[in-house]
Structure 1
Amino acid sequence: MTGNKAVAYKEPGKVEVIDVDYPTFELKDGPGVNPANVGRTVNHGVILKTVATNICGSDQHMVRGRTTAPPDLVLGHEITGEVVEVGRDVEFIKVGDICSVPFNIACGRCRNCKERKTGICLNVNPDRPGSAYGYVDMGGWVGGQANYVLVPYADWNLLKFPDRDQALEKMLDLTMLSDIFPTGFHGAVTAGVGVGSTVYVAGAGPVGLAAATSAHLLGAAVVIVGDMNADRLAQAKSFGCETVDLSKGGPAEQIEQILGVPEVDCGVDAVGFEARGHGSNASEAPATVLNSLMEITAAGGALGIPGLYVTGDPGGIDEAAKKGALSLSLGTGWAKSLSFTTGQCPVMKYNRQLMMAILHDRVSIAKNVNAKAIPLDEAPKGYAEFDAGAATKYVLNPNGYLS
Structure 2
Amino acid sequence: MPGNKAVIYQGPGEVTVESVDYPTLELKDGPGVNPANVGRKVPHGAILKVVASNICGSDQHMVRGRTTAPAGLALGHEITGEVIETGPDVEFIKVGDLVSVPFNIACGRCRNCKEGKTGVCLNVNPDRPGSAYGYVDMGGWVGGQAEYALVPYADWNLLKFPDKDQAMAKIRDLTMLSDIFPTGYHGCVTAGVGTGSSVYIAGAGPVGLAAATSAFLLGASVVMIADLQKERLDQAKSFGCETIDVSTGDPRDQIERILGRPEVDCAVDAVGFEAHGHGGEAGTERPATVLNTVMDVTRAGGAVGIPGLYVTGDPGASDEAAKVGSLSIRLGLGWAKSLAFTTGQCPVMRYNRALMEAILHDRTQIAKNVNATVIPLDQAPQGYADFDKGAARKYVLDPHGMIK
TM-score (norm 2): 0.99
**In structure 2, distance between residues paired with 1:72 and 1:388:** 23
Query: Is 2:339 the partner of 1:352?
Result: no
Alignment partner, residue 387 of structure 1: 388
**In structure 1, distance between residues paired with 2:162 and 2:72:** 36
Residues 123-272 of structure 1 correspond to what in structure 2 (within 5 A)? 123-272=123-272
SS of residue matched to 2:149: strand
Alignment partner, residue 40 of structure 1: 40
Residue 219 of structure 1, CA deviation:
0.2
Unaligned runs of 5+ residues in structure 1 are none
**In structure 1, distance between residues paired with 2:46 and 2:308:** 30
* Residues 297-348 of structure 1, C-alpha deviations (whole Å, 9 max, x = no match): 0000000000000000000110000000000110000000000000000000
Alignment partner, residue 57 of structure 2: 57
Q: Which amino acid is 1:133 matched to?
A: Y
**In structure 2, distance between residues paired with 1:382 and 1:187:** 26
Residue 281 of structure 1, CA deviation:
4.8
SS of residue matched to 2:162: coil
Alignment partner, residue 303 of structure 2: 302
**In structure 2, distance between residues paired with 1:268 and 1:400:** 35
Residue 352 of structure 1, CA deviation:
0.1
* Residues 64-104 of structure 1, C-alpha deviations (whole Å, 9 max, x = no match): 00001011100000000000000000000000000000000
Alignment partner, residue 316 of structure 1: 317
Count of aligned pairs between the two proteins? 403
Residue 389 of structure 1, CA deviation:
0.3
Alignment partner, residue 363 of structure 1: 364
**In structure 1, distance between residues paired with 2:273 and 2:221:** 29
SS of residue matched to 2:6: strand
| Identity of matched residues, % | 77
Residue 114 of structure 1, CA deviation:
0.2
* Residues 228-279 of structure 1, C-alpha deviations (whole Å, 9 max, x = no match): 1000000000000001000101200000000000010000000000000002
Q: Which amino acid is 2:123 matched to?
A: N
Query: Is 2:276 the partner of 1:276?
Result: yes
Q: Which amino acid is 2:394 matched to?
A: K
Unaligned runs of 5+ residues in structure 2 are none
Q: Which amino acid is 1:387 matched to?
A: D
Q: Which amino acid is 1:228 matched to?
A: L
**In structure 1, distance between residues paired with 2:296 and 2:92:** 49
**In structure 1, distance between residues paired with 2:163 and 2:266:** 37
Query: Is 2:80 the partner of 1:85?
Result: no
Q: Which amino acid is 2:297 matched to?
A: I
Q: Which amino acid is 1:49 matched to?
A: K
**In structure 2, distance between residues paired with 1:336 and 1:310:** 26
**In structure 1, distance between residues paired with 2:74 and 2:273:** 23
**In structure 2, distance between residues paired with 1:327 and 1:197:** 29
SS of residue matched to 1:394: strand
**In structure 1, distance between residues paired with 2:212 and 2:351:** 16
Output the aligned Cα RMSD: 0.5
Alignment partner, residue 71 of structure 2: 71
Alignment partner, residue 109 of structure 1: 109
